[in-house]
Amino acid sequence: MRYGSAIAVAGLVLGLVGLAPVDGVRLAQTVAQAVDPRKAEGDQLLQQGIEKYDKGYSTDAEEIFRLAVIIYQGIQDRNGEATALMHLGMSYGTDVEAIDCYTKSLTIFRQLKNQQREVEVLVKLGDYYHATDKYGKAVPYFEQALALFRQLNDRANELEMGYVK
């Protein structure tokens, strides 16, 4: 075991037994680094991309998300890949490249049976088509999202969509 990994595992163990403070984020980062440093790098890039996007630097975020996608693909982390693709789609805004990213992301989340992320992408696809005045294409995505919100018993998001019966 490498020295850095040994320290990460020791920190994890101490945190779990209550001898060192460990929050959820640091715990996840510590475990990821101990398991595969490339996963930690992908996670770090994803977080950096989200921060850039949130600050309005979508072009910078695009490049960072692209790198994260490549890393996740390289280590065959399908959930990470789909998450990075979803965020890459967001950074594209209303550019047509967003659809490709969202579609790939949706396919992966469905394969993984990750319904929380699946519904998130369905809403983003609906929002994309709504923002580009393609309302006929938006409706089926919103309807799928609504059905999934109901299946997940997510009344808050069902209410937000304005379709509560």
Residue-range domain boundaries for the chain:
1-35, 36-113, 114-165
Distance CA 136, CA 141 (A): 10
Q: Which one, of 137, 140, 132, 78, lies nearest residue 109 by Cα?
A: 78
3-state secondary structure of 75: coil
Tokens 């409706």, residue located: 139
pLDDT number for residue 86: 98
Q: Higher pLDDT residue, 11 or 110?
A: 110
Per-residue burial over 66-89, b = 16 or more CB atoms within 10 Å of its CB, e = otherwise: bbbbebbeebebeebbbbbbbbbb
Q: How distant, in Å, are the alpha carbons of 24, 71, 117 from that of 120?
A: 22, 23, 5
Which amino acid is located at 114 in the chain? N
User: 142-155 pLDDT, tens per residue?
Assistant: 999 999 999 999 98
User: 45-54 pLDDT, tens per residue?
Assistant: 999 999 999 9
When pLDDT is cut at 50, 70 and 90, the band that residue 161 belongs to is confident
Give, for 115, the enclosing helix (H) or strand (E): helix 115-131
Average confidence (pLDDT) over 71-89: 98
Match domain 36-113 to its CATH number in 3.90.1570.10, 2.40.30.170, 3.20.20.370, 1.25.40.10.
1.25.40.10
Average confidence (pLDDT) over 6-18: 44
The structure's pTM equals: 0.77
pLDDT at position 158 over 90 = no
CB 120 within 8 A of CB 89: no
When pLDDT is cut at 50, 70 and 90, the band that residue 64 belongs to is very high
Average confidence (pLDDT) over 47-73: 98
